[in-house]
Structure 1
């Protein structure tokens, strides 16, 4: 069965962006970059992968979920960020049609359960905090690219919500000289 994977860059103090939504303090270059590119090429924006000659075979992810804030980074001038994936954008806003983009105001948890039942690769929860909070009970795996930066305030990994606490088991941690640590957790089965 497909998994819902919340893969995201995060600061040491648990923020996916700073107070004004900035994420430029996260490290994009360093000894971690090649490893992450090899492990998760489907999580690279389509236009960047095209420029770098990175093949995106939809082996790890074939679907991406985003909230309006995550989707709008770089827009309106840039095309839809993950055209190589089936994209689902959860918003009530009017959004111009784009390749492989489904805009929906549907309950995210309901849609994720439908997607999990279909054949295919894993489903990537790209962001952000509100969507992560709404899908907290559906997330099967956390893949955190923990960066050696402290924001002190900002956009948390999960928005405060009414979701139940969950236990996670770490299945992998890879530390790099850059200070980035790639951590992977699976939901503990009760």
Structure 2
């Protein structure tokens, strides 16, 4: 069965974006970027792939899930969507106007995730945001958090407020970088 992986950058105080949905405060240079380009090529946006000449092999992820704010934070997307090499799902009940290659859905995120998990393929990347992550928290199999050495103070949380329901996990890898970013990988206990 495929895994749902919440792979996201986060501040030390638990924010994945600034109040305006931007990621500008997270370091975009440093040795952690080399790791992303090498090990997480599947997560590089279409425009970034064109600029770098990299080709994703889709061995890590072949599907991406985004909430509306995460999708819109990328600005204007090419016709094939922000991640044209992946199957792209955007969750919203109130918005429209996505590229033809992007599936916009108002369906229950848990049902969509369960259906995707039952299909063949590589991993399912939960790119954000916190509201969507909270909705599917019980379906997340792995968290890969790029912890950035910054305190934002406010913004979009890693997980939005949800009913009290603890979900345990265990640290399976932690890689510090000279940039100050630490990548922590957690397997969710089932």
| TM-score under structure 1 length normalisation | 0.94
Over residues 47-84 of structure 1, what are the superposed CA-to-partner deviations in whole Å (9 max), with x where a residue is unaligned? Answer: 11111011112111000001110111233x33221111
1:36 Cα shift?
1.8
1:19 Cα shift?
2.6
2: CA distance between counterparts of 1:173 and 1:161?
27
1:46 aligned onto 2:46: yes
Q: What is the Cα-based RMSD across aligned positions, in Å? A: 1.3
SS state of the match for residue 72, structure 1? Answer: helix
- Consecutive unaligned residues in structure 1, runs of 5 or more: none
1:78 aligned onto 2:77: yes
- Consecutive unaligned residues in structure 2, runs of 5 or more: none
Match of 1:14 in 2: 14
Aligned length: 188
1:21 Cα shift?
2.2
1:65 aligned onto 2:65: yes
2: CA distance between counterparts of 1:49 and 1:126?
17
Within a 5 Å distance, the mapping from 1:129-148 to structure 2 comes to 129-148=130-149
Match of 2:111 in 1: 110
Find runs of 4+ consecutive structure 1 residues off by over 6 angstroms.
none
Within a 5 Å distance, the mapping from 1:145-160 to structure 2 comes to 145-160=146-161
SS state of the match for residue 77, structure 2? Answer: coil
1:152 Cα shift?
1.4
